[in-house]
Chain A
Amino acid sequence: MYIVKRILIMLLTIWVIASLTFLIMKFIPGDPFASDADVLPEEVLQNIRAKYNLDEPIAVQYVLYMKDLVTFDLGFSIQSETRSVNSIIADGAPASALLGLQALVIALALGLLLGIVAALNHNKVLDYASMFIAIIGISVPSFILAPLLIKYFAVEWGMLPVASWGTWQHSILPTLALAATPLAVIARFMRSSMLEVTNQNYIKTADAKGLSKTKLVIRHGIRNAILPVISFIGPLFVSLITGTFVIEKIFAIPGIGRYFVDSIFNRDYPVIVGTTIFFSVLLVLTLFIIDISYRYIDPRIKLTSGGE
């Protein structure tokens, strides 16, 4: 019952997002063929507009688009008319997803580790060292970190290849550049969560049982401290796997990140709405999975359909 209700709400959410994106795009001044207006005769422009239904009233365009959407047809790109939005996503998503997944794994593994080490050595050298790394990770933007990584690892020391995509060695530097900020955020988050848990009474109870430090930290500390971090992983996961404009541009990765940005400049309506829907479907699905998994991670949470 809960799951059925959730799925209905998810569909509703996606419909609202699709409609809003569609309408907002139409209200942005400009037009996909604005740059061609000087070159092409008026009749040709009319014909092109008619091909994409742009001559119809917005309400009609909306109904036509929604009709296609329910059959999972996101339409054709206006900019490169031989390509469907579906194929753009299918071509770009794997590279972005692989890069994002790698970055997520690294950010989680190192971020959690740094946070835990910092909390266990509260106000000692390791704490300050971890948080120093974390602050650098948060404050150095990826468009600075990425060129720095390229300069040293690829150009100066020649250890790793760049500027193409293929072998896993190619993915190391972009993964690091992409992981830095989420890693730092996770580390700081985990540290404060862990510090809070350490002061809880049940830690004292566990300590009074005579548990070893390791068991105390893993079974009673981390298990509880990680709960708030999990809720944060969902949106992070989606934003990482749907590609990032900056990293993909710098490392010449054939992902979908650039389409998000390019399509807006070109008023490529089908691509804008299509990629946005793709993004929101992923986000809504991930949040759904996280909510379900909470049931198994935190026994206090029960899945109920009402707000009792």
Chain B
Amino acid sequence: MLEHLLEVNNLEVSFKTYGGEVQAVRDVSFHVDKGEILAIVGESGSGKSVTVQSIMGLIPTPPGKIKNGEVLLEGQDLLKLSKREMQKVKGSKISMVFQDPMTSLNPTMKVGKQIAESITTHQNIKGPEAKERAIDMIRRVGISNPAERYEQYPHEFSGGMRQRIMIAIALACHPKVLLADEPTTALDVTIQAQVLDLMKNLKDEMDTSIILITHDLGVVAETAERVAVMYGGMIVETAPVNELFNNPKHPYTWGLLESIPDIDAADKKRLVPIEGAPPDLFSPPKGCPFAPRCKYAMDVCVEEMPPAFSIDSGHEAKCWLNDSRSPALKELVSAGRQLS
């Protein structure tokens, strides 16, 4: 079997708070191949951001703690690296674009310098040449007059432009993996599409892989090649993007897909929410985290954590319904449960 570019195995991250220990990420495993875009979707608090920040070593410790797992980049475990070794990886092999472009740039530093800083830190390139490279990056992220823009400060840029600068910073050293933590959430819809297109194009140019965190299934459909659905600190379903939309195998994924508003619907329907609230991660349930909200939950769901059932090549779902012994959905419905 081919080695994956980035492989996360059995990652467990928790945070100590006054209220107790929050188990934010529980036994998460996934991988990304070269040149691939993997989307991680899930609601707020499902552990998406914590997962990617652990990859980057950006979890503040304490209160955070990576309790278990490995993050293999080309076979090298990043979690075992010293701080100094990790500094060499951050920004050069793996880099990150954050959610809020308005606050993610240093307000007192010229944007050009913020890009050049990334270059001089990792490559043996000095002042004027780094500036040249930074100006080139500003051009490549689609900003006109790059030489003038180099000298400007973040407050002279709009939100979309700032996110382009963030992308320029992240890609300045041609990283192998780009982690994008909800890069378009804070932007207008029209700007969102531009930024996503930009990321896709640059990914192809630079042969970078992308892990895209989002809670917008529209973004997923448009951008990603594979999808991991997170719920309650776990990945509940992974599948190629078409498979996930056409043949989802986890009730939470069904809920997510149903809750997308349909602009073409002839009759005015109410929006379909997923009833209930996400699990309490201070004391996560021992069974499936989605069971309390699941219309199809069986006794086994509450009692025991479902394993990852392999549905198809590259498609896995952690749901007991995929066990060959589980009753068909029809029987569950006739037993008094309602299908929407």
Residues of A within 8 A of B (CB): 200-202, 204-213, 215, 219-220, 223-224, 227, 297-300
Q: How many A-B residue pairs have CB under 8 A?
A: 80
Contacts of B329 in A (CB 8 A): none
| Given A208-B91, A210-B90, A227-B108; 5 other pairs, CB 8 A cutoff | A205-B106, A207-B90, A208-B58, A209-B90, A209-B118
Of B96-104, B137-145, B261-269, the one contacting chain A is B96-104
Cα A200 to Cα B98 in complex, Å, equals 12
Contacts of A202 in B (CB 8 A): 103-107
Partner of B169, one of A200, A205, A215, A223: A205
**CB distance A223 to B87 under 8 Å?**
no
Q: How far is the CB of B335 from chain A (nearest CB, A)?
A: 50
Cα A206 to Cα B153 in complex, Å, equals 16
Main secondary structure of the interface of A (DSSP, over half): helix
- The number of chain B residues with a CB under 8 A from chain A is 32
* Cβ of B65 under 8 Å from chain A: no
**CB distance A205 to B108 under 8 Å?**
no
**CB distance B98 to A201 under 8 Å?**
yes
Partner of B108, one of A206, A212, A213, A224: A224
**CB distance A205 to B153 under 8 Å?**
no
Cα A204 to Cα B118 in complex, Å, equals 13
* Cβ of B337 under 8 Å from chain A: no
Q: How far is the CB of A297 from chain B (nearest CB, A)?
A: 8
**CB distance A211 to B87 under 8 Å?**
yes
Closest 4 CB pairs of A and B: A210-B90, A210-B91, A209-B91, A299-B153
Cα A126 to Cα B201 in complex, Å, equals 49
Residue of B nearest to A223 (CB): B108
Residue of B nearest to A300 (CB): B155
**CB distance B56 to A208 under 8 Å?**
yes
Residue-wise interface mask of B (72-108) relative to A, using a CB-CB cutoff of 8 A (1 in contact, 0 not):
0000000000010011111110011010100111111
Contacts of A220 in B (CB 8 A): 106, 109
* Cβ of B122 under 8 Å from chain A: yes
Contacts of B95 in A (CB 8 A): 208-209
**CB distance B155 to A210 under 8 Å?**
no
26 A-B pairs whose Cβ atoms sit less than 8 Å apart in the complex: A201-B98, A201-B103, A201-B104, A204-B104, A205-B114, A208-B90, A208-B91, A208-B95, A208-B170, A209-B90, A209-B91, A210-B90, A210-B122, A211-B91, A211-B121, A212-B87, A219-B106, A219-B117, A220-B106, A223-B108, A224-B107, A298-B107, A299-B107, A299-B108, A299-B155, A300-B108
